[in-house]
Each structure stands twice: as structure tokens, then as C-alpha cells.
């Protein structure tokens, strides 16, 4: 059985300057409560790991 390669599925930020079009999907969510809810819901729905970057942004990575 081959080892799967994890990939970034979604990038979530509260900074408009870090939005780049293309792959992965980038979501701009400035409200912290809404962002936390979205991270939890998307993580469960996509069966992804949620990682917070040092700049405060988050990525959802496939397992």
C-alpha cells in the first residue's frame, strides 16, 4: 500500500493581503468566532487536519 501525500485543501485568513487566487481555496474570514466555527466544520466535513501557522492563518491539510 502506497503512502498518500497530504495536500493543503483550504487556506483561511483574516488578512485581505494574503488572499491569492488559485489552488488551494482561500477563504477570507475576518471574524474570529466565525473563523473558528468554519475551521471546525470544514475540518470534520473534509476529514482534514487543521494547522495554525505562525502568522495566525490556518490551513486544512488532507489526512
Q: What are the pLDDT digits (tens) for 9-33?
A: 999 999 999 888 888 999 999 999 9
pTM of the model: 0.86
Does residue 48 register a pLDDT over 80? yes
Does residue 8 register a pLDDT over 80? yes
Distances (CA, A) of 11 to 1, 24, 27, 56: 29, 7, 6, 11
- What is the model's pLDDT at position 1? 46
Classify strands 58-62 and 48-52 as parallel, antiparallel or unpaired.
antiparallel
- Identify the band that residue 3 occupies on the pLDDT scale cut at 50, 70 and 90: low
Does residue 52 register a pLDDT over 70? yes
Distances (CA, A) of 21 to 32, 41, 45, 54: 22, 23, 23, 21
Amino acid at each position: 500500500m502506497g503512502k498518500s501525500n497530504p495536500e493543503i485543501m483550504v487556506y483561511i485568513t483574516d488578512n485581505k493581503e494574503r488572499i491569492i487566487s488559485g489552488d488551494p481555496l482561500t477563504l477570507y474570514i475576518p471574524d474570529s468566532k466565525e473563523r473558528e466555527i468554519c475551521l471546525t466544520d470544514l475540518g470534520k466535513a473534509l476529514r482534514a487536519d487543521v494547522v495554525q501557522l505562525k502568522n495566525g492563518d490556518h490551513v486544512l491539510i488532507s489526512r
